[in-house]
Chain A
Amino acid sequence: MIKILYFARIKEALGVAQESIDRPSGANDVAALTAWLRQRGAAWQAELAPGKALRVAVNQALVGMDATIKDGDEIAYFPPVTGG
């Protein structure tokens, strides 16, 4: 199982804040998981589109698309941050 969290604009557009799913076969890194999520529908394709301003964290640390994913990880998708 992996836990996936969504925040801010992405959470609203997808209509989901968090979910726990079996790690899709072959989803060994962020890029592969993101590609798998994009297949869920138009909103997913749009929000997680390549080139879209998107940040990803694995286990609460910012990572790149090549970061590896294993069972038990917490992955989060969110837009560029705007605090302060």
Chain B
Amino acid sequence: MSVRVQTEDFDIGAEIAALRKGNAKIGAIASFIGLVRDINEGDDVSVMTLEHYPGMTEKALDGIVAQAKARWDIYDATVVHRVGRLLPLEQIVLVVVSSAHRGDAFAACEFLMDYLKTQAPFWKKEDTAKGARWVDARESDDAAAARWKKV
């Protein structure tokens, strides 16, 4: 398992290569990348700044990956989340999951993102023409995370 919080960008090709290296039992890799958009709630966004809680962030992500491993038949997972000042078009977050088959890889990847968004201590602030503002949490994210409890 690899969980990292960093200011630097990431390379999905390198991350996938590292995750699957030498393991011929892996039949499926699922991945997700979150990106900075130049618009949110109707306003142009020029800069996105990400703050986090050092220490707790890593613990929370480790815990979420452990839950995914306990629940689905996956080999491993990589989570990389950037912090600091990001511009539109930049990458924010990466989740990669390896498994024997696609079903578990897809499900675990989506679960990891849904739980990351509602449980890992990151906060986004965006600069707009109207000034800087903290992004509000969305009920739709809570609903997305909650549906995994029913399955």
Contact = CB atoms under 8 A, between A and B. Distances in A.
A binds B: yes
A63 B61 CA distance: 16
Contacts of A36: none
How many interface residues does chain A have, given as a range? 10 to 19
B136 interface: yes
Contact of B81 (A60, A61, A83): A83
Interface string B47-67: 000111101100100000000
A81 B125 CA distance: 11
B93 A84 contact: yes
Contacts of B59: 60-61
Contacts of A62: 119
B34 A82 contact: no
A78 B52 CA distance: 10
Contacts of A7: 51, 53, 121, 123
B69 interface: no
B137 interface: yes
B134 interface: yes
A8 B134 contact: yes
A15 to B, nearest CB: 15
Interface string A51-84: 0010001001110000000000000101111111
Interface in B103-132: 113, 116-125
Interface residues of B, number: 27
Contacts of B121: 7, 57, 76, 78, 81, 83
B53 A82 contact: no
Contact of A78 (B53, B93, B116, B124): B53
A84 B123 CA distance: 9
Contacts of B146: none
A71 B134 CA distance: 32
A5 interface: yes
Interface of A: 5, 7-9, 53, 57, 60-62, 76, 78-84
15 contacts: A60-B59, A62-B119, A76-B121, A78-B53, A79-B137, A82-B117, A82-B134, A82-B137, A83-B93, A83-B120, A83-B121, A84-B113, A84-B117, A84-B120, A84-B141
